[in-house]
Structure formats: structure tokens, C-alpha cells
Structure 1
Amino acid sequence: AVVLAHNYQTPEIFHGVADITGDSLALAREARAVDADIIVLAGVHFMAETAKLLNPERTVLIPDQEAGCSLAESITAADVRVLKAKHPGVPVVTYVNTSAAVKAESDICCTSGNARRVVESLGVPSVIFIPDAHLARNVAAETGVEMILWEGACEVHERFTKRDIERIRFGHEGVTVVAHPECPRDVVEAADFAGSTADMVSFVRTRRPKKVALITECSMSDNVAVAFPEVEFVRPCNLCPHMKRITLPKIRRALETMRHQIMVDPVVAARARHAIERMLEVH
């Protein structure tokens, strides 16, 4: 077995038992390449589904099947079909924070790390971008591509405000602010840099700011700070309650009992897999 852990997992999981760590794009890529019969996904349900889609012959376990996602739960496959009927011929770009059924209705998936490249790869003037409206607006500002939106949002990132950024700068002179693109547009505009969790790590590694505030889920700073002891991490703390459902005892129990196994309808899986594989082909 291998344990794949998202960057938002607590340090005892991220540093203690994970074989592979990363953002959702990194985990999607690594899930396809692992040499193991069993994958334990220390993350939320859509991530485990993605691992299963890319590894249909392997057993994929999620330690807590109630570990969901506000974004994934904001839209259904039926909602996507309605959007496609209203906008015939417009490609559907779907953030990976969605169910397999929603991915199956899509042309291509994306993550926060490659959303801009995915949209630009299509070479079209407009796309249906679902379900994160904040990410869509931030990608639209970077690309100039018209976004037909779905008003979904991450319950962690949408709570950050421009006022939060101002308070951080006022209280910590010289701080560099790095925001996740699931944050509202004015938060991203107020930051010094915006990017996926992997981009955040890369930014800290290359720039080595004296002080940095990562505007994202709470555990991210805890996990990244270990590798950069010389950097002072200012820690605004919005927790993801879904990620925090995954614990060390639950990971152990999953391995002992082989629960909870991820199953995806084969017809849905085939269509969803195509959208994910198209995403992985974009560099």
C-alpha cells in the first residue's frame, strides 16, 4: 500500500506516514504511477475518486467516506447538462474538485496549478468553467477568455478578505503575501503572488522571503515551514473541516479493514477518465 496525502493534511500525516505528498495535480499524476495494489488517499472524496479513475484495477481507500468538499457538493451532473444545453458548443472546463459524475459531463479537467494552461490550450474565446467562480474569475483575468460561471466556492478560501490582507501587512512589516486562486479576486489582487499549493512551495523555495503569509488552508503553513526554517511564516488560519476528518487512527483502520473502498460506475468512470487524461496531457 501507499499513502497519498494532500498538502492540507495535518503534519503528523503529511510528514509521518505519507509516501507521496502534494497538491491535487501532483497527487493525480503520482496516483497513475504508483507501484502498489492499494492506495490510501489522505484527502477528500473527490481526490480518492480521481485516484480510482486513474487506477481502475487498484484498490483505493479513503479513511473517512464523509470527507467531502463544498465545491464538489455545489454542482451535479444534471446542472452541467443544463449549462451545456444553454451554451451549445462551448467547452466545459471542470475543476478537479468535483465528483466523477460531473467530470464525466466535461471536456477537460483542470487544477488550480494548471487552470490557465488548460483554458489557453483550448484556443477558444469562451468556456464553461465549473464550479469555482473565484478561480474562474482569476483565470479570466489572466487569459482574457470569457468564463461562463457556476457560483460555487471553497468554504475555506472564500472566507479570506482584502481586509485580512491589509491586517496582515499592518501587523507584520515586510511580509510577502501568497494567495491561493480559490480566493476572491480582490484578495488575489492584494497579494504579491497567487498560485496553487505547489506553486506556493516553489515560490518560497526560490524567493526565500524573510516573512511570508500563505493565504490558504491552515495546515499548509505547518507542513511547508519544516523545509524552510529560516523563513518566518505568518499563519492566518482557516481550517478545512473535511480534510481534518482524516486522522492517523482512521488511516490505520483503513489499512487493517480495507475500508472504505472507492467504487465508480464503469460508464461514468470511462468518460470522467478521458477528461482527466486530457488535463494531464497539458504541460
Structure 2
Amino acid sequence: MLYAPAVARAALPLPHLYDRVARHVPAIEWPALAADIAAILDLKARRNAILLAHNYQAPEIFHTVADIVGDSLALAREAAATEADVIVLAGVHFMAETAKVLNPDKVVLIPDEKAGCSLAESIRPEDVLALKARHPGVPVVTYVNTSAAVKAVSDVCCTSGNAKKVVEALGVPKVIMIPDEYLARNIAAQTHVEIVTWNGRCEVHERFTPLDIADIRDIYPDVTVIAHPECPPDVVAASDFAGSTAEMVGFVAARRPRRVALVTECSMGDNVAVHYPEIDFVKPCNLCPHMKRITLGNIRRALETMSPEVTVDPALLAGARASVERMLAIR
């Protein structure tokens, strides 16, 4: 069958799903993707599996096979509540580890074990213990973008969406906030709590500069710029709004700007744009090489082979779970 720009919708496999990604997937490429999608949907049903997909996943994953989509906080909440036997995490390794911490008796799969995170790799448990020794009695607020081993020696976790709330909920004058230096500095600017930082950075967000924002505004004077709080503070200051990926979505939904620039990972804009065809999405984005390791093909293989399976050292489970559950208890 020949696929031309005017190809009839009915001629495509799974046309109801293609409608969701037609802006991003050429019709000629869809049949190959649809074969994996159909297999994944069947495997999920047979395995009693749920697929959790982060907002940075590609549209063909985010809008066709994912059961739950969202930021790290949303995925953590769903991981804690799911009744599925199998959890597939379309995201990076620390997210799958968090799902396992909250579901030690369930099978948790990560389609590619090499889907890592520069933040998670920037700090070790011994670094946390050294910080505690230098600041006795000061609680450690750990970003979820960390390993289970780091969570296990921390006091409470946070996400970019609830970091300020978590910091202030502790009711103390000073906290240690790890590992994202920029997130910690951006939160410090919003609170009277003193924050001790670590020098970890997100390899996607740290590359943005105020000059990038200025260039966007020069080209699109009417643009609304929304930055992720993992960006440097001067980028956040140059933007109109800063928030987690979930807060970005909420801002766009509530304000409906005519033109918007999401200063974050590239697929975020693609995924939000599907729901708002009337909005012009400018793309000052950087790709996350780790998120892009997840594909329809390796999601299918993970469900076929039930691997790679994520495990967490039983000695770390109690401490890591306590840190995550303390976060989830803060509303």
C-alpha cells in the first residue's frame, strides 16, 4: 500500500490511536509503529501490566500505550496505588527503582537498563552521610532523581512540583537539599528556609541560558516562556513562569497562551501540543538521551521477556520507602 500525504484515515492500522500522534508521526511510518503498539496492548492485558510514562517520553509512547502519564510525583503516586502485577516504567532507571521501592512484591520492568540520569549519578550515599556530618541535625530533602541507596539515607523525598511544600512542611530553619543545585537555589528564592545545596545538575536543563530566552523573545515578541526549575536561576528569572512538567501542563491549560515556549526536554512540548492544536509551541528544547533510550520496540521486548527486571537491595527498602512515603503524605 502506498502512503501519501492525503492517505485515508481508515486505511491506517489502529486509526483511533494514530489520530493522537498525527502531528508528529508521518502516516508512512505508522504501520511499523502500530505493529509494536498492538503487541504491547495485547501483552499488557495478558500480563496484567500497567505502563507508566514520564512526560518526556516520545508521543508514540505517551499517547498510545501508556496507562498513566505525568511527572515524577504523579508516577510515584500511581506506582503506590496500582493493583497491576507488572509495572513497566517508560522513563529512567531511578523512576523504576522508586516504583519497585513502593511495590517490592511486584515485577517492575525498565525497557533499557542504561536509561540513567545525570542527577542520580551525581551523588552517592556516602556523600549524603558526609553532608549530615557537616550539618548535624539538619534534615535531608532528596529529589526523587536519585538512587534508592541515596533515598535510604535521606529523610524525605521531593519532586520539582512539591519541593517548596516539602521543605516548609518540615518546620525547620535549615535543610539540606540534594542533588540538583539549580532546583535547590530556585526553591531557596521562594522560601525563608535556609537551603544547603549540592552541585548536581540535569544535563538537559543546565544547557539553557538567558540568551536562549532573549533570542526566543526577539523572534516571537508575544511568546509566553515557561521554564523547568531544574534550569539555572537566571533562566528561571528570564521566564514568565517556572514549574514542574505537571505545572507546565496546568499553566497551558488554564492560560491558553497563543504562543508558548516550554524550556525543557523536547518531547514535553510535543506531548502537550497534541491537546492544544490552537497554540503555537516554539521549541527551545534539548533532548534527554536517557529518556530517548525507551522505545516501542524495547517496551514490547520487556513485556515479552519480562526483563530487564528492576531489583532493590532488601537492606535499602525500608529507608528508601520511608523517604518516598513521607513525601507522598504531604499534600
The residue type paired with residue 173 of structure 1 is P
Aligned to 1:156: 204
Counterpart selection for 2:178 from 130, 141, 161:
130
Counterpart selection for 1:165 from 204, 213, 220:
213
The within-5 A match list for 1:65-76 is: 65-76=113-124
Counterpart selection for 2:325 from 273, 277, 280:
277
Aligned to 1:216: 264
Secondary structure in 2 aligned to 1:142?
A: coil
Q: Distance in 1 between matches of 2:102 and 2:142?
A: 17
Q: Distance in 1 between matches of 2:137 and 2:163?
A: 20
Query: Is residue 2:155 matched to residue 1:110?
Result: no
Aligned to 1:244: 292
Q: Distance in 1 between matches of 2:223 and 2:285?
A: 16
Alpha-carbon deviations, 1:168-194, whole Å to 9, x = none?
Answer: 111112000000000000000111000
Aligned to 2:81: 33
Aligned to 1:9: 57
Q: Distance in 2 between matches of 1:281 and 1:28?
A: 12
Counterpart selection for 1:82 from 130, 143, 163:
130
How far apart are residue 33 of structure 1 and its match?
1.3
Counterpart selection for 1:253 from 301, 308, 324:
301
**How many residues are aligned here?**
283
Secondary structure in 1 aligned to 2:190?
A: helix
Q: Distance in 2 between matches of 1:166 and 1:233?
A: 17
Aligned to 2:144: 96
Counterpart selection for 1:203 from 247, 251, 254:
251
How far apart are residue 144 of structure 1 and its match?
2.2
The residue type paired with residue 272 of structure 2 is V
Greater Cα radius of gyration, structure 1 or 2: 2
Aligned to 2:38: none
Query: Is residue 2:96 matched to residue 1:48?
Result: yes
> Over aligned residues, Cα RMSD in angstroms?
0.6
The residue type paired with residue 10 of structure 1 is A
How far apart are residue 34 of structure 1 and its match?
1.5
Alpha-carbon deviations, 1:103-154, whole Å to 9, x = none?
Answer: 0010000000000000010111111100000000000000122111110000
Q: Distance in 1 between matches of 2:163 and 2:192?
A: 13
Q: Distance in 1 between matches of 2:102 and 2:308?
A: 18
Q: Distance in 2 between matches of 1:205 and 1:101?
A: 37
The residue type paired with residue 64 of structure 1 is D
Aligned to 1:185: 233
Q: TM-score, normalised by structure 1?
A: 0.99
Q: Distance in 1 between matches of 2:282 and 2:192?
A: 33
How far apart are residue 206 of structure 1 and its match?
0.3
Secondary structure in 1 aligned to 2:69?
A: strand
Aligned to 1:61: 109
The residue type paired with residue 274 of structure 2 is V
Q: Distance in 2 between matches of 1:144 and 1:63?
A: 42
Aligned to 1:263: 311
Q: Distance in 2 between matches of 1:123 and 1:197?
A: 27
Contact 2:262 2:285 (8 Å CA) reproduced: no
Secondary structure in 2 aligned to 1:166?
A: helix
Q: Distance in 2 between matches of 1:281 and 1:255?
A: 32
The residue type paired with residue 166 of structure 2 is V
Secondary structure in 2 aligned to 1:21?
A: strand
Q: Distance in 1 between matches of 2:147 and 2:209?
A: 28
How far apart are residue 237 of structure 1 and its match?
2.2
Q: Distance in 1 between matches of 2:193 and 2:237?
A: 18
The residue type paired with residue 248 of structure 1 is L
Contact 2:119 2:202 (8 Å CA) reproduced: yes
The residue type paired with residue 116 of structure 1 is K
The residue type paired with residue 202 of structure 2 is C
Q: Distance in 2 between matches of 1:153 and 1:186?
A: 15
